[in-house]
Amino acid sequence: MLDHPMVPGSTSAIEPGPWHYGADYIAVYFNGEVPSLRNLVPRPFDVDGGTCMAYVCEIVSVGDSGAEMVASRPDRTLYQEAAVGVKVRFGEKPGIYYPVMWVTTEWSLLRGLLNGYQKRLADRISMTKLHPLNPGLKPVSPGSRFGGFCAKGPERTLSLEVNLQRPGTAADLPAFGSTFGMRRFPRTDESQGTVSEPVEVLKSNSRVSDVWLGTGSLMTELDVGRVEPISGAVYRSGFTISGSRALK
């Protein structure tokens, strides 16, 4: 078996899909400024009103035939992610486009690039974790605070905080529609082939639990214009990604 980094296989950087995800999110919803956001979103997607989302999360992920890797190679099944997403439209179709998504492992970086996410590698992503048996921590309740940050080189690329007010349901979380992306594999010479295609990520099996709602705040080095926070949320989510479909 060839050990090629971007060819799914047993010794490669990426397991064959579909890929399954279970994630714990700390999310802040906010309005950015449309002119700034337009610089972050490529054609054929259109910025839709300025609504955005930022989050940090921890993800347990396995390939469809590789669930046993949680035990044999746990480093290949757990990562942290931080991202900023912008509400967009593709024609009439509403969705979210992530101008940048930082992750902590090689395989989530490369898998994401293949699916059209603008992934970058973080040096460190850290976020609030509670533990029900820790004698010094209270259960999640109104007033609980959750925070997280992403550091890369000399920069803190994103930090955010959520103050919980009340439990909620999946229906309370803002919905953006489809997840859009851009698959890009540029040339370094005129003789080479290239890929540059807008895509829609193929997501299924979505489920959400443990929703808490509240207020949020954030700072990011990404130029989204002035940030006007809308709300914050903490929740768990699961889903499957089978790949992404090129948009014509």
- Closest approach of Cβ 153 to a copy of itself, in Å? 4
The residue range among 47-55, 64-72, 88-96, 225-233 that interacts with a copy of itself, by the rule CB under 8 A, is 64-72
Residue 178 binds a copy of itself (CB under 8 A): no
Site for a copy of itself in 212-241 (CB under 8 A): 222, 236-240
DSSP for 145-189 reads: EEEEEEEETTEEEEEEEEEEEEE--GGGS----EEEEEEEE--SS
Which of 114, 173, 211, 233 binds a copy of itself (CB under 8 A)? It is 114
* E strand segments, the chain: 19-31, 46-63, 78-90, 93-103, 119-121, 124-127, 145-152, 155-167, 178-185, 195-220, 228-246
Six token digits for residue 63: 């390939």
Residue 161 binds a copy of itself (CB under 8 A): yes
In 3D space, the residue among 19, 116, 103, 106 whose CA is nearest the CA of residue 61 turns out to be 19
Minimum CB distance to a copy of itself smaller for 7 or for 167: 7
Minimum CB distance to a copy of itself smaller for 7 or for 174: 7
Which of 27, 53, 83, 182 binds a copy of itself (CB under 8 A)? It is 182
Residue 93 binds a copy of itself (CB under 8 A): no
Site for a copy of itself in 123-152 (CB under 8 A): 123-124, 126-138, 145-149, 151
Count of chain residues binding a copy of itself (CB under 8 A):
106
**How distant, in Å, are the alpha carbons of 11, 109, 180, 195, 246 from that of 6?**
11, 11, 21, 14, 19
Residue 1 binds a copy of itself (CB under 8 A): yes
Residue 61 binds a copy of itself (CB under 8 A): yes
Minimum CB distance to a copy of itself smaller for 54 or for 127: 127
CB atoms within 10 A of CB 66: 18
